[in-house]
Amino acid sequence: MMKSIKVACFLLLLSSLPSILKFCTAIDIISTTQILRDGDTLVSSGGRFELGFFSPDNTNNRYAGIWYTNVTIFKAVWVANREIPVTSTSGILKVLEPGVLVLQNDTSNIIWSSNTSRVAKTPVLQLLDSGNLVVREANDDRPENFLWQSFDYLTDTFLPDMNFGGNSATGIQNYLTSWTNNNDPAPGDYTYYMDLTGYPQNILKRGNVILCRMGPWNGLRFSGIPNSRQDPTYTFEFISDENKTFYREEPIDRSVISRVTLSLNGVTQRWIWVHRIQDWVLYLNIPSDYCDTYKLCGAYGICKIANSPVCGCLDRFVPKDPEGWVRSDWSNGCIRRTPLNCEKGDVFLKYSGVKMPDSRYSWVNKNMTLEECKVKCLKNCSCIAYTQLNINIEGSGCLFWSGDLIDIRDLSVDGQDIYIRMASSEWDSKGSRRKILISSMTSLMGMVLLGLSLMLYYWKRKKNYANGRIGGGQNKDFELPLFDLSTVSKATNNFSTNNKLGQGGYGPVYKVNIC
């Protein structure tokens, strides 16, 4: 019996030996003297990511890629040779002397390679625990000196710790591109990127057509993505200077496994791996509803998802094409009810709780107060609107717009304030109408109060009069008339016995004759 148990334990140990050896021999770095064959992998030092070869569903094509190691549902987060697959399992990855990473097929032809602007003496390839695959000098692990990194060349997935944006010094701008289909990681129809024209904002395109816009950064979040500042999982950072502009997310809890993916049908989705159920859970969709459609309501239109129809004009604006508006064709947008007249003086009207307009035709000043923004914009006839650049606790800077304001939507949660230029005459007429309305309401209330006062007065007077009549009949003493003795003597014929009627307790009673 004891011998059987020992044999069983030995067999169990033997069966798990490959896994143990794999764990013990896992490496995260190779040099020019080593190669990575199909079937081998690099595992990051913390065991978070893995680099190797894989095949998508329903195909035998092989691709070099990176994926999370600790999830049971496979999803590649980066693909090297997404346009040219290896058609067999004979592909290899290796680093060449100048510092270039290459992928070769079974005939040793290079079907994919990285690039570099510098020559390395002892280049190595390393998979970092952030999921970043880097080529660097063996003795220099500083990020600014990397020869090449996969974080600069994204596929369809954005990971925490990535810099998403552009660098004018290096000429690199990264972006997400959807897969063609579930079986083919080649670039599809949809692209998600940070547009650096004007003030930076993230944009989703299909081909050359803008589908959705996330709004400019406001110090807390992109203005078109409400509730994102409340995410307890990440801290968000936006950096913009003369050389680079990028956005990044850093996980507060490093055990959280997440990704942002551009789907096949052009939806930017945030996924989080939930260990308890062993599945990816969808956390966020962009676009999220019909009002996220780019410039759906045209210039100076505003989209309100709770309304039917969803499109309307901003206050003090009217449809440019009323007939088209009735047909739910809002593409021509709205125009001012009263044209601007900069020479005679304009004013600004505040609109609250909205997504900021397309910021490609905008400029910024990072040091002004909101009142200084107003003064500066008022002096520039081409300045159409302004808002506070950063709405964080300190609150500073200005974002100015020129040209038509496009792609505005109502946001019941986390909307911002924007100040839009309008003719002073319309503001005055608004003030006059308001004064007239207030005056009319005051007069009407005065008349109502006067009427009520008169009614109350007459009611109380009538009540008092009625009480007086009733009280006079019930409570007043009845006074008998008084006569002097001569009058009484004369009336009784000098108290004649002929006039005596009888005798009582108070004395005799006489009949009197009063004429």
Is 234 among the domain residues? Answer: yes
Region 191-216 average pLDDT? 95
**Least confident stretch, 51-65, 392-406, 418-432:** 418-432
pLDDT in tens, 115-150: 988 899 999 999 999 999 999 999 999 999 999 999
HSE (side-chain half, CA atoms, 13 Å) at 280: 16
- 378 phi, psi to nearest 5 deg: -65, -30
The closest alpha carbon to 407, from 314, 324, 270, belongs to 314
Token pair for residue 204? 């989703």
pLDDT in tens, 370-394: 999 999 999 999 999 999 999 886 7
Task: Tell me the sheet residues that pair with 286.
Answer: 268
* pTM, to two decimals: 0.78
173, 270: one domain: yes
282, 193: one domain: yes
Here the CATH number for the domain that contains residue 342 is 3.50.4.10
- Domain with 66, as residue range(s), is 23-151
- 443 phi, psi to nearest 5 deg: -60, -45
- Residue in this structure with the two tokens 């044999």, named with its chain if needed: 7
Q: How many CB atoms lie within 10 A of CB 199?
A: 22
Q: Position 22: which residue type? A: K
Region 332-348 average pLDDT? 92
147, 230: one domain: no
CA–CA dist 166, 328 (Å, integer): 38
For residue 398, pLDDT beyond 60: yes
For residue 91, pLDDT beyond 60: yes
For residue 89, pLDDT beyond 50: yes
Q: Please report which confidence band the pLDDT of residue 3 belongs to, taking 50, 70 and 90 as the band edges.
A: very low
Is 435 among the domain residues? Answer: no
**Least confident stretch, 307-321, 333-347, 449-463:** 449-463
Is 366 among the domain residues? Answer: yes
CA–CA dist 314, 303 (Å, integer): 10
Q: Please report which confidence band the pLDDT of residue 435 belongs to, taking 50, 70 and 90 as the band edges.
A: very low
Whole-number CA gyration radius for the chain: 45
What's the distance, Cα to Cα, between the start and end of the chain in Å?
Answer: 154
Is 293 among the domain residues? Answer: no
Q: How many CB atoms lie within 10 A of CB 344?
A: 9
Q: Position 429: which residue type? A: S
For residue 287, pLDDT beyond 60: yes
Share of the chain above pLDDT 90, in %: 65
Query: Quick one: which H or E segment has residue 281?
Result: strand 279-286
416, 388: one domain: yes
CA–CA dist 33, 52 (Å, integer): 18
Is 17 among the domain residues? Answer: no
pLDDT at position 479 is: 47
The number of domains in the chain is: 4
Sign of CA dihedral 154, 159, 164, 170: negative
Q: Position 239: which residue type? A: I
Q: Please report which confidence band the pLDDT of residue 226 belongs to, taking 50, 70 and 90 as the band edges.
A: confident
Maximum mean pLDDT: which of 48-62, 108-122, 409-423: 48-62
pLDDT in tens, 444-483: 565 656 566 566 666 666 665 555 544 444 444 444 455 5
For residue 25, pLDDT beyond 60: no
**Least confident stretch, 24-28, 67-71, 137-141, 175-179:** 24-28
175, 143: one domain: no
pLDDT at position 380 is: 94
Is 443 among the domain residues? Answer: no
CA distances from 31 to 27, 110, 130, 248 (A): 11, 18, 20, 30
Region 273-282 average pLDDT? 95
For residue 5, pLDDT beyond 80: no
Which residues, in sequence order, are CB contacts of 422 under 8 Å at separation 6+? 316, 336, 338, 340, 346, 347, 348, 349
322, 266: one domain: no
Over the chain, what is the mean pLDDT? Answer: 85
159, 144: one domain: no
Is 250 among the domain residues? Answer: yes
DSSP string for residues in 126-140: EE-TTS-EEEEETT-
Region 489-515 average pLDDT? 64
Q: Which DSSP state fits 32?
A: T
Are residues 160 and 235 in contact, defined by beta-carbon separation less than 8 angstroms?
A: no
